[in-house]
Structure 1
Amino acid sequence: MTYAVQADMLTALGEDELIQLTDRADPPVGAIDATVLTRALEAADGEIDSYLAARYTLPLPSVPVILRDCAIDIARYRLHDRGLPDLVKDAYKDRITWLRDVAKGIASLGTATDTLTPASAGLPEMTSGGRVFARETI
C-alpha cells in the first residue's frame, strides 16, 4: 500500500528541497529524480507496514492522514545522504516512536480500522474456560 506519493512530498517539502534530495546526476540536472523519490517512498511504506502488521490486517481500507505524514518524514530521512539535519532526524525518531506505540496498541490510527486485528496466520490459538482454583476458592 502506498501511503504517500510524489505530489504529497512536493506539497510538504517543496520543489527545491526535493530537487536537492533526489538529483544525484553528475552533473546535476536540476530536476526531481522520480526513481530516487519512488524508492524512498517504497522504503517508507515497507517500514510503516512492518509496524502496522503487528496490529492491523494489511492493506488498510483507507490511508489515514497521519500515515501519509509518517511516510513523508520517513522518506525525507532516507533521502538525506549528505548530512542529516537535526530537524529531519527528530521528525523520523518521533514517527518511529509513534509507530511502535501503534504496534503495541498504546496509540491508534484514529480510524475504524482500530478494531481490526491481524489474522492468526494459521497458528494454533487457545482459550480457557476460566480458573478452576483461585486464592478465594481453596
Structure 2
Amino acid sequence: MSYATQADMVTAFGEAELISVTTPEGAEQVAIDPSQVTMALNVASDEMDSYLRRRYAVPVAATSPVLTRYCCVLARWVLWGKSNTSPSEALRADRKDAIAWLSAVNNGSVTLDGAVPLNVGTDFSQVATRPPAFRGICP
C-alpha cells in the first residue's frame, strides 16, 4: 500500500516536473509515465515502513497529510535518482527533512495520530500461584 498517489505527486510538484523525470532521455515529453510514478511511490512507502514498523503496524491505515507529503518527497527523490539530472539542493533538503521526521517517529519522539501502535512493552505483570512456604510466628 502506498501512502500517496500520482494525483498527490502532481499536486505537490506539478505535472511538468513529473513528465520530465518519468520520460526517458531523448524521448518526447508528452505525458507522465504512471508505471514510473507507481514504482517510486512503492519504493518510498517501503522506505517509510522500515522506519514506522518499529512503533506501528504497517502499512499504517490512517494515512495523514504528513505521511502523504513525505511519501511524495521520497518518491520524487527516487524519480530524480533515475533521471540523468542531479537533484537540486532543495530536493536534498526535503529528503533530509523527511528522513529526520521518520527517524523521530522511529525513536518515539513523534507519534502518529490514528495509527495502531505495536504492543512492544517490556513490563509484565507477575502473579504468585503458590502460597508462601513459611506461615509460622517468629519469636
Question: Which of the five TM-score ranges fits, normalised by the shorter chain?
Answer: 0.7 to 0.9
1:86 aligns with: 89
1:16 aligns with: 16
Give the Å deviation of 1:27. 2.2
2:39 aligns with: 39
Greater Rg by CA: 2
When normalised by structure 1's length, the TM-score is 0.80
1:50 aligns with: 50
- Deviation per residue, 1:57-115 (Å, 9 max, x gap): 12323101100000000011111131010000100011001101101001122x132x6
Q: Which amino acid aligns with 1:116?
A: P
- 1:97 equivalent to 2:69? Answer no
Q: Give 5+ residue unaligned stretches, structure 1.
A: 130-138
1:72–1:118 Cα change, 3 Å? farther
Query: Would you say the 8 A contact 1:54–1:118 is kept in 2?
Result: no
Q: Which amino acid aligns with 1:72?
A: C
Query: What number of residue pairs does the alignment pair up?
Result: 123
Q: Give 5+ residue unaligned stretches, structure 2.
A: 127-139
Give the CA RMSD over aligned residues: 2.1
